[in-house]
């Protein structure tokens, strides 16, 4: 079954669309229903002015206030990926657990090409994020939190 691309950023915990060498990857992680009351999507808490607290260390359910630690929650989610392999140009798609490993000191989501088994790494681009923040540009990666 082909992956259904997200319609709205509001449904997502993470979204990134980037080039990787000669290939590219679009990656997204959908928000998950509250495991306790199943009435609402888990999300970052909102601040006093109703803005989402992107840097919050936990996720909360807006319906019942069930709270889960950020890392624990994000590790339990599923990442959807549509990619073009940088090694063999194969175009594929897959879903993997949203578990990031530290590779060369960077938090990385690693998966393998379905055709040639090459490792494909989605790394948080911290330096670019900071530079964009300074300039006041909005980055897709800001959704990472
Ligand atoms: Zn709930
Ligand atoms: Zn490949």
How confident is the model at residue 144, as a pLDDT? Answer: 47
Q: Distance from the CA of 77 to the center of ligand 1, in angstroms?
A: 16
Q: 24 lies in a domain?
A: yes
How confident is the model at residue 37, as a pLDDT? Answer: 98
Chain mean pLDDT for the chain: 87
Q: Which residues 6+ apart lie within 8 Å of 123 measured at CB?
A: 103, 106, 107, 108, 109
Other Cβ atoms within 10 Å of 110 Cβ, number: 14
How confident is the model at residue 139, as a pLDDT? Answer: 44
Q: 4 lies in a domain?
A: no
How confident is the model at residue 138, as a pLDDT? Answer: 43
Section 70-75 average pLDDT:
94
Provide the residues around ligand 2 (an ion) whose CB is within 5 A: 85, 87-88, 90, 113, 115-116, 118
> Which pLDDT band holds residue 142 (cuts at 50, 70, 90)?
very low
Q: Distance from the CA of 33 to the center of ligand 1, in angstroms?
A: 8
98: three-class secondary structure by DSSP? coil
Least confident of 17-21, 46-50, 58-62: 46-50
In total, how many domains does the chain have?
1
Q: 102 lies in a domain?
A: yes
Q: Distance from the CA of 115 to the center of ligand 2, in angstroms?
A: 5
Of residues 109 and 128, more confidence is placed in 109
Q: 70 lies in a domain?
A: yes
How confident is the model at residue 128, as a pLDDT? Answer: 52
Q: Distance from the CA of 45 to the center of ligand 1, in angstroms?
A: 13
| Nearest bound ligand to the CA of residue 21 | 2
Q: pLDDT over 70 for what percent of the chain?
A: 85
> Which pLDDT band holds residue 33 (cuts at 50, 70, 90)?
very high
Q: Distance from the CA of 44 to the center of ligand 1, in angstroms?
A: 13
Q: 86 lies in a domain?
A: yes
Q: Distance from the CA of 60 to the center of ligand 1, in angstroms?
A: 8
- Please, are residues 113 and 65 in contact by the beta-carbon 8 Å criterion? no
How confident is the model at residue 145, as a pLDDT? Answer: 40
Structure-derived torsion over alpha carbons of residues 72, 28, 93, 91, reported in degrees to the nearest 10: -130
Of residues 39 and 130, more confidence is placed in 39
Residue 40's domain comprises 9-144
Q: 3 lies in a domain?
A: no
Q: 2 lies in a domain?
A: no
Q: 122 lies in a domain?
A: yes
């Amino acid at each position: 079954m082909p992956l259904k691309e997200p319609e709205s950023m509001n449904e997502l915990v993470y979204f990134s669309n980037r080039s990787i060498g000669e290939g590219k990857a679009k990656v997204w992680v959908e928000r998950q229903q509250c495991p306790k009351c199943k009435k609402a999507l888990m999300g970052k808490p909102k601040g006093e002015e109703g803005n989402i607290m992107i840097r919050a260390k936990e996720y909360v359910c807006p319906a019942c206030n069930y709270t889960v630690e950020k890392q624990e929650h994000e590790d339990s989610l599923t990442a959807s990926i549509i990619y073009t392999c940088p090694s063999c140009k194969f175009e594929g798609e897959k879903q993997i657990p949203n578990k990031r490993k530290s590779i060369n000191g960077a938090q990385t989501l690693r998966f393998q090409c379905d055709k040639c088994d090459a490792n494909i790494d989605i790394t948080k681009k911290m330096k670019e994020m900071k530079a964009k923040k300074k300039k006041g540009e909005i980055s897709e990666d800001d959704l990472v939190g």
